[in-house]
Structure formats: C-alpha cells, structure tokens
Structure 1
Amino acid sequence: MQVHHGLTLADIVNVKVLQEIQDKFSDATGLAAVIVDSAGQPITIPSNFTRFCNYVRSTSKGLARCMGSDDCGGRMAASLSRPSVYRCHAGLMDLGAPISLNQQHLGGFLAGQVILPQDGENIADEVLKGVADLNLNKESVLGMLTEIRVVPEERVRAAADLLYIMTNYIVEIAMANIVQKQLMDELKAKADLEKVLRETELKALQSQVNPHFLFNTLNTIARLALLEEAPRTQEVVYALSDLLRNNLRNIDEMITVDEEVRYIQNYLLIQKMRFGDRIQTTINIPEKLLDQKIPVMTLQPLVENAIIHGLEPKRDGGTIEIAGDIHDGQYELIITDTGIGITKNQIEHIFRNEKRVAGKGQTTGLGIINVHKRIQHYFGPQCGLEISGKQNEGTIVKISLPYEMVKQEARL
C-alpha cells in the first residue's frame, strides 16, 4: 500500500504511545530521553532531563541551540540509517536513532546527557565555554555538572543500539496506523464490504503490533541489557530481529514448515524470557514434514492464542507442544496446551464470528479464523483448523494440510 507523504510523526503514531515507550526506556536506562519531529521540535514531554540541560533550555538562545543540536543528531542518524553518538552544543554526550518510513525522515528518538570517563576534568572548561554567552551563573553550572552521570562509552553505544530497536517498533506502529486508515477508506469506497474485509484483514493481521507483547518484550530487553553482559541479551535481540523480518514478509507467501518452525522458535524464546519457567514448550515434528509448504504466519497466531488465553491466566502456567503427523494423505500439525481450556460454545463462537472480537491478544477471533480461512483458500474446504478441548483441561488445535511427496535431501 502507498504511504502518503507530508504526514508528521504525530499524525501517524499516537503521542501517548510514544510517551509511554520513551518513559519506559528512560526509567530502564537512567538516561534522559525525548522524541522530536523532522524539524527537531519535541513532540513528547522530556524524560529525566538533567538540571543542567533544563537550566540551559530556560534561556531562549539555549533552547534554540538545544533544539538545533537535537535536529542535527536526528538527521545524522537518519543519513547513516543507524544510531549515532554525538556531542551536543554544550559538550555532553547524546545519542540518537532515526525514525523514518519509506525513506521519509519523520524525526528521531534522542537520549543521553551524560559525560564519558575520558572527558576528565576538561569537561567543565568545555561546558563553560559552550554556554559562555547564555549569561548563566557559573557556580550553578559547575554545581549542576557534578550531578551528571559518568557513563562508559560502550554503555552509551549499547543504549544507542537498544534505542534503534525501539524506533523500529515505532515504525511498525506507524505502518499499522497507515494501513488501518487506508483500509477504512477502501471500505467506504467499495460496495462489497465482505469481500474487502476478507482481503484486507489478512494484511491487518500482519501489520498490527500487539502492544501487550511489544511493551513486555521491550522491558525484557532493557532489563537484560543493563543487568548482564550480554549472551542472553544478544540471543533475544537476534530472535526479535528475525521475528520482525518474518512479520514483514508477504502474507500470501508460502514457506516450508521448517521455516515456520524457526520463526515460532524465535517467538517462543522471547516469551520464555518474559514467563520464565511458567511456560514449557516442546516441538516434535517429523523431519519428513519439514519440507512441506504452509502459509506464512500459520503457527504464530495459534501459539500466541495458547499463551495469552490458555496459559497466562493460570498461576502456574503450563506446557505447549507442537507435534506433526501424516494421516489419510494429509499432514497434521497439532498444538496442544495445558491451559484453562475451552468450551464447546467458545469454539462455535470462533468459527461463527468472522468479525473482530475485542480482547488483549491480536489472535482473539480474527487470528484463528483467518488462519482457518487462508488454509481453506489455498487448499480447499477439506483442510483447515479443528479445535477441541475442555474447560480446565487444556486445548488442542489441529491444522490439516495436503501432504505432498517431496524429495528428501540431507539436512546440514
């Protein structure tokens, strides 16, 4: 879908969402933070700004310089297409990550206001020189400088990388909002509403970001980044990157079961960091099924549904098993959880209701029925989903797909 140029960051993304992301990042890292538009103008309320920076910004000339510095930092990051670490006009270290969409610079996520250990005692002279013409009280400036954190350069750069991950989420939210607006325009322009709903909800399923999952994941990454050095953090970040890349694939694409399993393993790894030992998972799919074709994003909505609606409500959690089998010319993928279960009425409601049902997970109603309908669209009415279970005894979701004889080659 086409993205309309001329929109500002505030037009695309809810400012309250930006503020919440910014506040959580600032609380987790201890760094000052602000989000600015393409002209360097703040669109959020600054988080944890130092007294020194607020003092500089209390003058009109100082505020103009700070905003100009923020603008330069955001544009530098945008031109590099990666996070940047730089000195502000007053001599403190700042970092920024670009916020862009379809090569359109929307703004930047800026943080910092720290001193590097190697700056030493010279930093006071540099700062005084940088603000000399602002008519600030010298003793006050020197006193406020003693309050500024000294942070190793590698920690600053690690925070910049984390910032870049978060800006990717902001772009995802922006894309979801744009798609949603364009879908509404299309719905008003077309007479056949059912046909439009069928075509566009598949794209919405791919582009929507579940805020519940988003914020918990960001918090997990932030805590790990600050508290340890760094193998588990690296593993989570890589898994999250792969998950995002997969989420941007064409929703109509067919992939192998092996690829879909790797994607779901990344998703489960991230959820494992959040739930710990409350959720145990096993994947037992025969090797001869790994080359079979399956629509992209078939397993993830079903596994997410099992976690959010099955296991999360249980205090002690439970287990999820993903298994595979071949039966009567079809192969089956079975997702079994030991969650709170499901009633016959709930199952009938899922297959009867094709409209969006309110809930805290994106898979409520919409995700499950779309997986079912996509499979039937590709393979016919003999394929699709079958759901069974009992209240307080768990749920079983069986996916039936046509089995094709594929030449098996040695896997490395």
Structure 2
Amino acid sequence: MGWNTLDDMELAGKRVLVRVDINVPVENGAVTDDTRIRRLVPTINDILTRGGKPVLLAHFGRPKGKPVPEMSLRPLVPALQAAFDVPVSFCADCRGPAAQAAVAAQASGTVLLLENARFYAGEEKNDPELAAEFAALADVYCNDAFSAAHRAHASTEGVARLLPACAGRLMQAELTALKQALGSPARPVAAVVGGAKVSTKLELLGNLVEQVDHLIIGGGMANTFLAAQGIDVGKSLCEHDMAEIASGILAKARDSGCAILLPSDVILAREFRAGAENWTATTDQCPADAMILDAGPETVARITAVFAGSKTVIWNGPLGAFEIPPYDTATNAAARKAAELTREGQLISVAGGGDTIAALNHADVADDFTYISTAGGAFLEWMEGKILPGVAALETRKTESAC
C-alpha cells in the first residue's frame, strides 16, 4: 500500500492522536447531519477495542487563526458520544498545559475531543512548533481525514512526520478505492466529468485524458466543448473564452487514445425554471434564444453503452441541471445504469464531489456505488493527479518501524 494502517500499529495503552473531519452542519447548537461523524466509528471502535485512547484533533469552519466561539467544537460532543457510544470529554484547547492535562487525565474506554485546531494561525501555516505540540500529546498519529489530506497543515502533514503514523479506517477505505479506480484500475476505464465550468476542472480534464479510455463530458462544460467545435449553443451556460483550451483538450485526448463523449442531442428550454416548456433536439439545433439544460436520450444511450463496456467508472459532476426536473433525466438514467452494473458485479464505480453526491442521492443510487467519497477538494485533486501532502506524509512512515 505504501502507508501504515491501524493493523500495523501497537495500540494497547497508547494515546492515539486521530485527525478527523467533523466539519458538520450545526444549527441552534445541534448537529443536523452526522454522516461524517458516523463514518469515523470503525476507527474509534478499533482503537478502543485494542486498548488505545483516541484523542480527536479537528478543524471547524474558517476562524482564520484566532478563537471564534461560534466555531468551537464543544457543541459536537453529544453527537460524537451518540455515535461512538462511549463517554466523550472536551478540552477547550488543542495545545499547551490544558491539552496536556486533559490527555493525562483521559480514562481508558473514553474519547477526548480537542478544540478547533484552526484557532491557531500555525495550523494552516504548518508551523513546526505547533506540530511538535500536537505530537507531544500522543504516542501514535492516525489520519482519518482524507478530506483534509490535500492541505499541508500542522495537523495533517507536520505532526505525521513526528510520530509513528498510520491511516484510519475511513482514510484506508478512501485510498484503497481511489487506487482501485485510477492507480491500478480494471480496464476499460470511463470517467464522467460534469458541472458548470471547464475553467474549474482544467487540470482534472488534462490528467484524465491520459489515464482513462473514455471521458464523458456533461453539464455546462459540455457546451464549451460544443462551442469550440463551431456549434451554436444559444443562451446556454458556456465559457466562450475557453474555446481554444477546450480544443486543446480534445486534441490531447486524440493523441492519448481517449474517446471523448459529448452530447449528440440535448434538452432545450427558453427559461430555466420548473414547468417551463422544453423539447429535445440535436446539438446543432439550439435556437439563439434557448439554452441547453440536459443531455438527450440518444446521448444517455451512448453513455450507458460505454458503462456496459467498461470495468471501472469514476464520476465527478452531474450531466445536466439536475436540481430542476426534467433536467435530472440524463444524470438519473446514467447513474442508475452504473449502479445496476455495480450491483451485478460488472463494474467498479467511484464517485465524489458535493454536486455529485447530491445528484446520486437524488437518483437514489448512492448506496449502490462501490465507493462514494465525501472529500470534495481532496478527491478532485487526487483525480487531477496531484500529490496529497497528508497522504504523502503517511507514505514516508511506511519504511520506519511501527509502534
């Protein structure tokens, strides 16, 4: 694998500093969605079962290096306690005498939550002194926050180089799934990239055309590629100033042997609102006063045929304006086909990104994909082929002796 997991670590009697992502929505002092918290349960249970003491280190919001009461982690204690089913104590600091005293007083079979690491400016600056203070609180470092692994912060990169380090169960699952999808995938590999703008996913597209066999481009960014080929897209969302770059990506795909799939038919409307009149047409039949809001049935048939002939699918972004029916039709149909093939054992399907998760939940198929990443920026940077500092720091520890 290239990095240690909890299986490689001696945990009995050890203080385990666990970097977690509990940046969850809170309203009126209560957690409204505990999904990220529940996904930590396997790691916490494993540490407790093997006699370790989990000390949670996390961030919340963007306090910009100073204490902000509204961004304290204290309100999360009840949700953590409910998920872990063990006592959870809270320390109003994450460094210094208070944190040291809290760690020293922690009883076996309990969890300790430290205050927001971003209350210190040194966190996002990867300050060596702050990383050393974090390291002084524990015997073992466990990173279970893949969603923060693309940041070289004191709690994700700095401290990992100062203690025997490993990936938690959530991080392990994420890295395993991503390696399965692009690192050493079963081929053919198809990638779905949707969303509004080409400009936000240039590095992603540039990397994928050299990694996958089929690249399916949807959403607003597909309009930019159509326009680059001289097709009039009317009032559609389109970055006309990106035409030359889009043409370059198409040329790079041809050189790499990657087949690009763009819409051949589309759903058109003159207004973007629920109930507006809409119709299906080929891509070259968009009136000047209309806009493309979804891929058409012919395009969906081509996409599902690619899925049926693939072994791996990576998905980031919807195919249309799925928030308003019927412009969710293409995304729903393609997602359900990928889910069906996954259930039948014919396809490995990995998806990630906020809009992607919302779209797959909307299609009611998220549970049927092989793996759904909630990592957001880290997932995108991994798809772009970038080295993630939080993962690289764990990899450097593999050659060293575990606790």
Shorter chain as denominator, the TM-score bin is under 0.3
Structure showing the higher helix proportion among its residues: 1
> Which protein, 1 or 2, shows the higher relative CO under an 8 Å CA cutoff with sep ≥ 6?
2
TM-score (norm 1): 0.26
TM-score (norm 2): 0.27
